[in-house]
Structure 1
Amino acid sequence: MIQLEHISQTYLTPEGKRFDALKDVSIHIRPGEIFGIIGRSGAGKSTLVRCINLLNRPTSGRVVVDGADLTAMSEEELRRTRRGIGMIFQHFNLLSSRTVYENVALPLELAGVGKAEIRAKVEPLLKLVGLDEHAHKYPPQLSGGQKQRVGIARALTNDPKVLLSDEATSALDPETTTATLQLLKRINAKLGLTIVMITHEMNVVKQICDRVVVMNKGEIVEHGTVIDVFAKPQSDTTKALIGNVQARDLPESIIERVRAARERRGGRDEAHLLRLSFIGGDVTRPVISECSRRFGVDINILRGTVDDLRGQTVGTLTVLVEGSREVYEQLVDFVRSCGVIVEELSDVD
């Protein structure tokens, strides 16, 4: 559906220096999926999403949407193509002098659509986003979540195949964010839209996305399914972002307990710190108790989390294993044979 091929974006600063906002970025987004692009502020994610509809024309590279190369189009062809790409924003961009109905109808009015056809399009959209009873209210009379629903309805007026969401939940409270994401999931399922989510919040990604890329300083540093990225983060950027929702770093009080155990056992070879990640059905298997019985070792659970990611359960345990190096290595091999992801930690040395 969407192919970004070797996208680079270079600017000159006021001082005349070169700034690379995007560096050779390539992404393939499948039809009908919800795709996440995440990174900290300044990572290049908003610049990248604006390349998809060519609101931002890249310095180099190709943008192909539904088989059409946008970078090779004339301005008139590009205007027509953009009608099939909806976009919602962080700050809603509603006109306060127009009612909810009139805000949603605006793109159709600008396209010269008649009143009867506008009504036939707008009224079902307001019902879809749950605002049919608020059609004649003005934006100042709405909550933040309701304003964002107006923005979503407006983005759907031209029957787009693609919906771009640029930090659309950043201005919302957690409860409203969850409700908005649930609405987007329903729209994705009902209309078959391809949705691209730009966010700096891993909590948003884990609730809604199928796949995700992680960006840092204009480059992709990690990509994969949401489950794989959460369970097996590779880059420091990903680990830091996941840490915000999974509390991956150990508090000092637990670190002191680990150090005390190692001292008690006579050194680091006798006390081992592991992070275990379980996916799907493996979450319910009593792997820890199996290991304790099989190898005769003490296993102390220091921290645990369980997340639901797109209908699959991902559990993470941080444990301290006390035993000889030989037994420990056998235990790790056994745990991995059970389908558990094992990460050996050294952050208490």
Structure 2
Amino acid sequence: MKAPELGIRIGLHPHGKRNSIADLGVKVGHSTIIDGDDIRTGVTVLLPPVKNPYRERLFSATFVMNGFSKPIGFVQVDELGYIETPVALTNTLSVYTVANAMVKHMIELNPELRSVSPLVMECNDSYLNNIRKLAVGEEHYFEAVKNAKLDFEEGSVGAGTGMSAFEFKGGIGSSSRVVEIGGEEYAVASLVLANFGRREDLTIAGVPVGLELKDYPGRGTSGRGSISMVVATNAPLTARQLRRLGKRAVVGLARTGGYAYHGSGDVVLAFSTAQTVPLDKEAHLLSFLPDNALSPLFRAAAEATEEAVINALLQARTVEGNGHVRYALPVDRLLEIMERYGRIERA
């Protein structure tokens, strides 16, 4: 269950219909790889709501809070301000394999293609996964693409299979918010690959849950790890404005107890589904919101990211692998703590 279903309210803005990045029409697919005692990894792919992302490019931007990370494709996004492929998530040593698969995917869709910038983000799952075995193959990218849908799983699936957060089981989490600007409704959503944090730092809706659960079993590698964050909106924004939006994801991250420690690669990709940059047109008219109208979107990005991290914890299940175990966040204990702090909302 996600946070709202447990009576845990995060933020002020209402959720979207699915309370996920699917509220922007983004389909998400997973390939989960579990083999023997030591392989716990996978691939997650986000498909933008266009038929051919190479020919219907979306405005985009990146933001790097702490650059201990190995994303592929950020340089061209920073230079040109758009994405031209799906977005993939996987483990640190598999970004290159997944990028190769994505290039082949784009060639299939565009036989004339001679240059493309694949977008692959990563976290290091080596605590639960024998990452040196390079278990991810190109076929797993294509399996994730085939599995992509609007109602997708979260938690210990796909790229999230071997990830940890706050020394509990982490993984994939998502959430969305709806805001009104000038009489129009816009959605903002976040999807995260959560693999970071010290147990004592975990904060949920302002409650120091990690301190309350500091003696819960399964601790190890405190403070290591990373988080990859993808923020999407249907508000018409420029690449410059999307970079500003992406920065607010880090506000939400901080509210969960993320401090961007030395070894934590904290990176954001933000994009808008509002309008495309057609490959075949020499000129086209575009419209954008003024900067002084963006504050509700900024708050929504922070709220959606904060809840996405918590949802990753809530949706994850206990996983054992590579000689270690990560326990799922104990929901019964969590609800007792939240009740004691007066942070459970009754229907």
Q: Same fold (TM over 0.5)?
A: no
TM score, norm. by length of structure 2 = 0.25
Q: TM-score, normalised by structure 1?
A: 0.25
Largest Rg, 1 or 2: 1
The structure whose RCO (Cα within 8 Å, separation 6+) is larger is 2
